[in-house]
Chain A
């Protein structure tokens, strides 16, 4: 009976895994499908008829044409790709530079009103982008940052979620270790640099992975704050695709998946820790 339950659990998990992986398979097969096949399968979506779109598990006429077209014949794709890389790296570095010390300070330093600040962070973190969009827009315009990369990078650097996540990691460091360092004559910066960071490195990496994925996939912020199409990230490449370029869209989606997939495979352990810790209570 116990074996039967275990088997059922495995089957259920496999089905769930297939369900989750199906979009990836969808992107892969689409990238190798011919344009006419994509148009035939997906035309009901654009034609707005009651007929349902269809999809085959394997392409009927596999071709590399869409991928070649994306890789060799679409300089716009690379512009947006490198824009995404630039935005993501800048956000990542900015968060390391700003959010890690902030979280350390809130977690370990005995500052007045730190609890209230932390509560404010939590409130801000709970607010969706649609609520913050207009105030952010006004602030960015006041600082003449609209239609610049800073309009996307700076709000992400100073977002509440990384601080909240790192706060949890740093708070988990035992107080005794820090007290011993102080008794040995170590300063606060040295304690942070030599004790806090190494001990909170899984949290920092976890925050980095999450921030990278978030910034790699961001759509609303660049669409709202960037009018100059030359600054658009790769996440806005797909909305530009029409039915006639559907093959290119799938090819771009496949390529867009690769950096995030690599990063996930590399730092999967830290990502799990981060997600686990972010679910805990203060």
Chain B
């Protein structure tokens, strides 16, 4: 029993001894698990926003050095990055190649001049052709209408004659001698008209041949230039369709009368046809009046400003082509009149043929005995023929009108001559540039003080029409450019005075205003900032650091930025130390307090007043993760 008690007492001793030891171990473990924190108290103050950025100076303006393209570079005297002064030699062009280029340009200009002449000739001929078409259409109209009217008259006469024959048959009468005589007279008149028209046509042909011969003779003597000089403005029409060189007194051809001359048979001797008006003497006089010799129809006058230069072309022998050209021009002038005369011959022959047919019909009717029924049928047939003739007359008028309207449509404007003239002027400008380069002995000089940034010319290569060299114009000054973050852009604006510190010598340039601030096109999160540099500050291409500090208003509660935390809902909070009673006694624990951040920078955060008092210790750092309720101790 006594041994048992000793064992129990020994066990109790071991138990309490173990409890003492485990108490110490447990305490040690517990203390090891407590976060050691550093604390600070909230302070009053302002939030300073500092903007720092590195950048470099760039030029305000570039200068492009250009020259005529397609020339060979003889030598290049400068390199990229080299500083030059105004008038310094940049590169030299190959003079032999330049001379060749000038010669080629002159030859091209001559070719262009000839091309322009051809273009204007073509335009003039086209205009003449169009007028001929209009006259032809009018003539066709007149001819068709006249023919239809004749048919209509004849049908009407046949109808009257059939009705009269029927009436005579019913009255017992036999024929009418007066009608036969009138038909014979009409037949003779038509024969006379045919002869007259043929004589007129022959006269016109002879007159045209004489005119061709006369023009060719004058051309050989140099009175008329074969082609106009396109380089002289007065000779080039501004609007080709108006044809300023056409003679204004071109006689108009009477539409419904045959053409007659002063030497031909007087009008009173020509048997008058019922449907053809008499031609007035003055109209025939103006019609046969020859064209003025000093006013060529197609060719412009010689240029008074350069008579000596052009006269050399006119004194030579005319070629066969030039003769043909003159002949064609004269034929074109007479084409309308000749075609009108030919139409009159055809009309007269047609009228004569109809008169003979009418006379033959009359004789046939008189010889054959007819019953009343035959006569009635003949009247009806004549009535139908008359109706058809009236219809044909109407159709002829409609078709003729359409032809006239179609011929009166304006031709598309031919601008080849004007375009050629513009091209010629451009070539002339190019020639002037080439000649200017030749005068400068092919040397291309720097237009201003600057630094060569790009060179696109190499010795032996050909020049292009684009920039030969690009240089920085030092006379226009430099500006500092850098990029800042979107967050920094909130605190700096246009006009704010910044400080630039040169990277090389560390020299500072203060109070330089921000010139521009805009969002970068490459990156939306960056902003491009520029500062216009005054003279004698940073040189072109220098690197520098921009600094700017903006202070906010005074806040009553500012805490270190490390004391500020964000929870899962992106709400800001701080952890403060709080003394709590626990089983282990009084201890420090972290307490979470939600706050509203008014402003912050990378050092401090201004909190809304009332969220944290200045007596509270803010946990700003810890040797391990600390959350609300964590036991802490101050280091």
Whether a CB of chain A sits under 8 angstroms from the CB of B583 is yes
List the A side residues contacting B23 at CB < 8 Å: 75, 78, 81-82
Cα–Cα distance between A77 and B19 once the two chains are bound (Å) = 10
Q: Is A79 positioned at the interface, with any CB of B under 8 Å from its CB?
A: yes
Are A72 and B583 also in contact (CB < 8 A) when A81-B19, A259-B15, A266-B9 are? no
B583 touches A230 (CB 8 A): yes
Encode B582-616 as 1/0 by CB contact (under 8 A) with A. Answer: 11111000000000000000000000000000000
Name B19's closest neighbour in chain A (CB-CB): A81
Q: Are B8 and A265 in contact, with the CB atoms below 8 A?
A: yes
B22 near A: Cβ within 8 Å?
yes
CB distance from A128 to the nearest CB of B (A): 28
Q: A259-B12, A266-B8 are in contact. Are A78 and B581 (CB under 8 A)?
A: no
Q: Judging by beta carbons under 8 Å apart, are A229 and B581 in contact? A: yes
Query: Quick one: closest A residue to B11, CB to CB?
Result: A262
CA distance in complex: A81, B586 (Å): 18
Report the nearest B residue to A85, measured CB to CB.
B16
Contact indicator A232/B5 (Cβ below 8 Å): no
**Residues in chain B near residue A72, CB distance under 8 A:** 22, 25-26, 29
Interface pair B26/A73, CB less than 8 Å apart: yes
Contact between chains at A75 and B5 (CB < 8 Å): no
Cβ contacts under 8 Å, B625 to chain A: none
Contact (Cβ within 8 A) B12 A229:
no
Q: A75-B30, A262-B12, A266-B5 are in contact. Are A230 and B19 (CB under 8 A)?
A: no
Please determine whether B582 and A78 come into contact, CB atoms closer than 8 angstroms: no
Q: A71 near B26 (CB under 8 angstroms)?
A: yes
B5 to chain A, nearest CB (A): 6
**Contact-residue size bin, chain A (C-beta under 8 Å from the other chain):** 20 to 34
Known: A71-B26, A72-B25, A78-B26. A262 touches B15 (CB 8 A): yes
Q: 8 Å CB contacts to B: which residues of A247-282?
A: 258-259, 262-263, 265-266
Judge whether B363 is part of the interface by a CB distance below 8 angstroms. Answer: no
Q: How far is the CB of A205 from chain B (nearest CB, A)?
A: 12
Q: Does B562 contact A (CB under 8 A)?
A: no
Whether B581 lies near A230 (C-beta < 8 A) is yes
Q: Is A54 an interface residue (CB 8 A)?
A: no
Question: Does B27 lie at the interface of the complex (its beta carbon under 8 Å from any beta carbon of A)?
Answer: yes
Q: Mark B24-47, 1 if CB is under 8 A from A, else 0.
A: 011101100000000000000000
Choose among A73, A230, A262 the residue that contacts B8 (Cβ–Cβ < 8 A): A262
Across-interface contacts of B29 in A (CB, < 8 A): 72-73, 75
**A80 located at the interface, meaning its Cβ lies under 8 Å from any Cβ of chain B in the complex:** yes
B26–A75 touching, CB < 8 Å = yes
Alpha-carbon distance A75/B34, docked complex (angstroms): 13
A78 touches B8 (CB 8 A): no
Bound form: Cα–Cα A73–B16 in Å: 18
Q: Does A41 sit within 8 A of B, measured CB to CB?
A: no
* A82-B23, A258-B15, A259-B15 known; A76 vs B583 contact (CB < 8 Å): yes
A228 in contact (CB, < 8 A):
yes
Give the docked Cα–Cα distance between A232 and B585 (Å).
10
Secondary structure call for the B interface? helix
Residue in contact with B583 in the complex, picked from A73, A232, A259, CB distance below 8 Å: A232
CA distance A77 to B584 in the complex (A): 9
Question: For B5, B11, B26, B585, which residue has the most chain A Cβ atoms within 10 angstroms?
Answer: B26
Most buried by B among A75, A79, A85: A75
Bound-complex Cα distance A76 to B29 (A): 12
Q: Would A76 and B582 count as touching, CB distance under 8 A?
A: yes
- Given A75-B27, A75-B30, A232-B583, the answer on whether A266 and B19 have CB atoms closer than 8 Å is no
Using Cβ atoms and an 8 Å threshold, which residues of chain B touch A74? 26
Q: Bound state CA distance, A82 and B16, in angstroms? A: 10
Known contacts A75-B30, A266-B5, A266-B8: A230-B584 contact under CB 8 Å = yes
**Residue ID in chain B nearest A269 by CB atoms:** B1
Docked complex Cα distance between A230 and B586 (Å)? 8
- Give the residues in chain A near B11, CB-CB below 8 Å: 262
Please name all residues of chain A whose beta carbon is closer than 8 Å to the beta carbon of B585 when the two chains form the complex: 79, 230
Q: Report B-chain residues with C-beta under 8 Å of the C-beta of A81.
A: 19, 23
Task: With CB as the reference atom, state the residue of chain B lying closest to A82.
Answer: B23
Interface membership of chain B positions 614-630, coded 1 if the CB is closer than 8 angstroms to chain A and 0 otherwise = 00000000000000000
- What's the Cα separation between A31 and B16 when bound, in Å? 20
Q: With the chains together, A266 CA to B5 CA distance in Å?
A: 6
Q: How far is the CA of A96 from the CA of B16 in the complex (A)?
A: 22
Query: In the bound complex, what is the Cα–Cα distance between A155 and B140 (angstroms)?
Result: 151
Give the docked Cα–Cα distance between A79 and B123 (Å): 122
Complex Cα distance, B30 from A195, in Å, reads: 52
CA distance A73 to B27 in the complex (A): 8
Residues of B within 8 Å of A259, CB to CB, are: 12, 15
Which residues from B are CB-within-8-Å of A75? Answer: 23, 26-27, 29-30, 584
Please give the distance in Å from B16's CB to the nearest CB on chain A. 8
CA distance A118 to B626 in the complex (A): 61
Central interface residue in B9, B16, B19, by most chain A CB within 10 Å: B19
Q: What residues on B are CB-neighbors of A82 within 8 Å?
A: 19, 23
The closest CB in chain B to the CB of A73 belongs to B29
Q: With A and B bound together, what is the CA distance between A265 and B584 in angstroms?
A: 32
Interchain CA distance A15-B353 in the complex, whole Å: 163
Q: Which residues of B contact A80 (CB under 8 A)?
A: 583
Q: Which of B326-342 contact A (CB under 8 A)?
A: none
Chain A, residue nearest B586 (CB): A230
Among A228, A258, A263, the residue within 8 A (CB) of B581 is A228
Which chain A residue lies CB-closest to B1? Answer: A269
Give Cα A240–Cα B585 distance, bound, in whole angstroms: 16
Nearest-CB residue, chain B, relative to A263: B12
Please judge, given known A-B contacts A262-B11, A266-B12, whether A76 and B584 are in contact too, CB under 8 Å: yes
Asked if B583 contacts A79 (CB within 8 A), the reply is: yes
Q: Is the beta-carbon distance between B582 and A230 smaller than 8 angstroms? A: yes
Residues of A within 8 A of B22 (CB): 71-72, 78
Q: Report the nearest A residue to B4, measured CB to CB.
A: A265
In whole angstroms, how far apart are the Cα atoms of A266 and B6 in the complex? 9
Complex Cα distance, B585 from A77, in Å, reads 13
Min distance, Cβ A3 to any Cβ of chain B, angstroms: 31
Produce 1/0 per residue, B557-590, CB < 8 A to A: 0000000000000000000000001111110000
Measured between beta carbons, the chain A residues less than 8 angstroms from B9 are: 266
A266 to B10, CA, bound (A): 11
Rounded to whole angstroms, the CA-CA distance of A148 and B231 in the bound complex is 126
B631 to chain A, nearest CB (A): 11
Contacts of B586 on A, CB cut-off 8 Å?
Answer: 230
Q: Check A229/B582 contact, CB under 8 A, given A78-B19, A81-B19, A262-B15.
A: yes
Q: How far is the CA of A81 from the CA of B26 in the complex (A)?
A: 13
Contact with B along A91-126 (1 / 0, CB 8 A): 000000000000000000000000000000000000
**Would you give the shortest CB distance from A9 to chain B, in whole angstroms?**
26
Write the chain B residue with the least CB distance to A83: B583
Complex-state Cα separation, A178 to B388, whole angstroms: 184
In the assembled complex, the Cα of A196 lies from the Cα of B9 at a distance in Å of 26
Name B22's closest neighbour in chain A (CB-CB): A71
* Residue ID in chain B nearest A229 by CB atoms: B583
Most chain A beta-carbon contacts within 10 A, residue among B4, B11, B583: B583
Bound Cα distance A164, B242 (Å): 151
- The CA of A262 and the CA of B5, in the complex, are separated in Å by 10
Contacts of A266 in B (CB 8 A): 5, 8-9, 12
Distance in angstroms from B24 CB to nearest chain A CB is 9
How far apart sit A72 and B586, CA to CA, in the bound complex (Å)?
21
Bound-state Cα–Cα, A72 to B5, Å: 30
Q: List 11 A-B contacts (CB under 8 A).
A: A74-B26, A75-B26, A77-B26, A79-B584, A79-B585, A82-B19, A85-B16, A259-B12, A262-B11, A262-B15, A265-B8
Closest 8 CB pairs of A and B: A76-B583, A78-B23, A230-B585, A75-B30, A266-B8, A75-B26, A262-B12, A229-B583
List 8 extra interface pairs beyond A75-B30, A82-B19, A266-B12, CB under 8 A: A72-B26, A73-B26, A75-B29, A76-B584, A78-B22, A81-B23, A259-B15, A266-B8
